[in-house]
Amino acid sequence: KAALEGRRFLSASLAGRNAVDSSNESNSENFYLQQTAAPTPVEGDVRPHSHDAVFYSDDRMVLDNVTRFIEGALTAESSAIVVATESHRESFLASLQAYGVDLGAAIEQGRYIALDAAETISTFVVDSMLDTARFMDVFGNLIQRARKAAKTSHARVAIFGEVAHILWKRGNAEAAIQDEKLCNRLVEMYDVDMLCGYSLVGVDEGIDSNVVQRIREQHSAAYIV
């Protein structure tokens, strides 16, 4: 998008990609996002856990990336959590089934948990303020529930979320950044892989590059599709 030209970015955790280390300030002004796929969790994977962000202008592109991310976890007999809009949840459902995932079984086993992002936000954001204790309780319980349902103890739970994006779009950038900081805590505490979705539709004008930079800094990798 035009407002992000010259201020797009990559971080270093995209193994095998031409990434820019988010901790390297000399690269911070050249963080152009590349088209790439989300990391796919696989059984027995010893790579570091990830907390990545995907920025997109076309739902079809993010659909493919998120589908592969979630499918990787379910195929590895782990669990997946999706906290997204209704339209995205329905799209992921159809796409995962097209990939051959037996979602009926995964849902029945408790290995696929899909929640509405706006409803989830209402459980820990009150008067535009994010309650840390409530946030950690909501997501901590979700992760433990998903982990217990997994058929393997080796593969990580995969989480796709749009909570921070929705807070950002509502004009509550500070809550969005706080959300991402708490997500880092969850990733460390529970050793999960997390992918955060950010739509660029409707944010061409008036985007605060400082906010984008702060969002970037909370992720191990950021990319555009």
Lowest mean pLDDT among 38-47, 148-157, 194-203: 38-47
For residue range 166-193, what is the model confidence (pLDDT) as tens digits? 999 999 999 999 999 999 999 999 999 9
Which residue range forms the structural domain that includes residue 15? 2-224
Report field, pTM of the whole predicted structure over 0.85: no
For residue range 71-100, what is the model confidence (pLDDT) as tens digits? 999 999 999 999 999 999 999 999 999 999
Number of domains in the chain: 1
The rounded distance, in Å, linking the Cα atoms of 77 and 47 is: 18
Given the DSSP bridges, would you call strands 125-126 and 193-199 parallel, antiparallel or unpaired?
Answer: unpaired
Number of H helices, E strands in the chain: 8, 8
CATH number at residue 156: 3.40.50
Residue 148 · residue 73 · CB < 8 Å: no
**pLDDT range class, residue 203, cuts 50, 70, 90:** low
Question: Which distant-in-sequence residues (6+ apart) come within 8 Å of 165 by Cβ?
Answer: 176, 196, 197, 198, 199
